[in-house]
Amino acid sequence: MLILDGVSVEVSGREILHDISMEVKPGETHVLFGPNGTGKTTLLMTIMGFSGYNVTKGKIFYKGEEITNLPLYERARMGIGMSFQRPPTIRGLKTRQLVALCAKMKRDPEELAKRLNFTGFLDRDVNSNLSGGEIKKSELLQLMAQNPDLVLLDEPESGVDLENIALVGEVIAELLDKTIKHFDEPMIEHRKKRKKSGIIITHTGFIMRYVKADVGHVILNGRLSCASNPEEIFACVGKFGYEECVRCMI
């Protein structure tokens, strides 16, 4: 689904990410851990294709095609979607209108918003006067409308209150086709067919209660230090902090 091959990224003339290689296979969900300011968001912004994130080395492939220099919106149209940590307010544009645009007018914003108990916010300006948790819901709503194949989530649970965290977690699981339920076909068959992939940045790990991740990575100072079982990494960081990851890198 997504391959990063030795990617280095510069922001404002400074190299933030160094020689990152990773592969997200179809149906896999990866989790990124790492202290603040190590380059996790930079990695997602680079995959999405934002200006100011210059790939100086390496290549990015998505669905078998190189997308290293492809414009942002083309990547979105190819099925990459992202939820932002601090999205901008867009005055005068109603959330309802944006959701309809995301859905290419194919799905009803009202119906989608019901799932997130968010219908009361549809007529507000995009990201205007929303609390942290409401912003996360608004982002998820747009992703639900977009229905991307590769979902990039930047701290989707931060600022979400306890009452809503389960709801947000379940919706993310649905986006990634990771809902645990009884399918017509055996689970193993369903899992084989699963195409939706995701990369999730998390600090708290809360999200992992609802979305069963396949691979965990740690980014330290712009380098990927490990790719392993996400639960194990999370437990290890919880116990020893990221110092243990530094030890692994040396």
Partner 1 sequence: MHDLKERAQKALKKKAAIGRDIDLSKYKLETPGERGGLGQICETDLLSAGIIPSGKGRSGSYIQEDHTVAHCNITQDGVEVAAIEDALARYDWLKDYWWKALEVDTDKYTAFTELQPPQGYFMRVETGKKTHFPLQACLYMEEEGVLQAVHNIVIAEEGAEMNIITGCTTASSLQSGLHLGVSEFYVKKGAKITFTMIHNWKEDVIVRPRTGVIVEEGGIFISNYVSLKQVKDLQTFPTAYLNGDNAIARFSSILVAPEGSHLDTGARVYLKGRGSRSEIISRTISSGGTIIARGHLIGDAEDIKAHLECQGLILTERGIIHAIPELEGRLSGVDMSHEAAVGKIAQEEIEYLMARGLSEEEATATIVRGFLNVEIEGLPAELKREIDRAIAESEKDLF
Q: Decide whether 97 or 179 has the Cβ nearer to partner 1.
A: 97
DSSP H helices in the chain = 40-48, 72-78, 95-102, 109-115, 132-146, 162-175, 187-193, 230-240, 243-249
Give 32's strand partners: 201, 217
The CB-of-84 to partner 1 minimum distance in angstroms stands at 7
The CB-of-228 to partner 1 minimum distance in angstroms stands at 30
The CB-of-1 to partner 1 minimum distance in angstroms stands at 18
Distance CA 177, CA 74 (A): 23
The CB-of-73 to partner 1 minimum distance in angstroms stands at 4
Chain positions 57 to 76 lying near partner 1, rule: CB under 8 A, are: 71-73, 76
Residue 129 found at the interface with partner 1 (CB under 8 A): no
SS3 139: helix
Residue 117 amino acid letter: N
Among the listed residues 2, 17, 102, 153, the single contact to partner 1 using CB under 8 A: 102
Among the listed residues 5, 125, 174, 231, the single contact to partner 1 using CB under 8 A: 125
Residue 78 amino acid letter: M
Distance CA 181, CA 65 (A): 33
Residue 71 amino acid letter: P
Q: Decide whether 135 or 224 has the Cβ nearer to partner 1.
A: 135
Chain contacts with partner 1 (rule: CB under 8 A): 48, 50-51, 71-73, 76-77, 81-82, 84, 87-88, 90-93, 97-98, 101-102, 104, 125-126, 142, 146
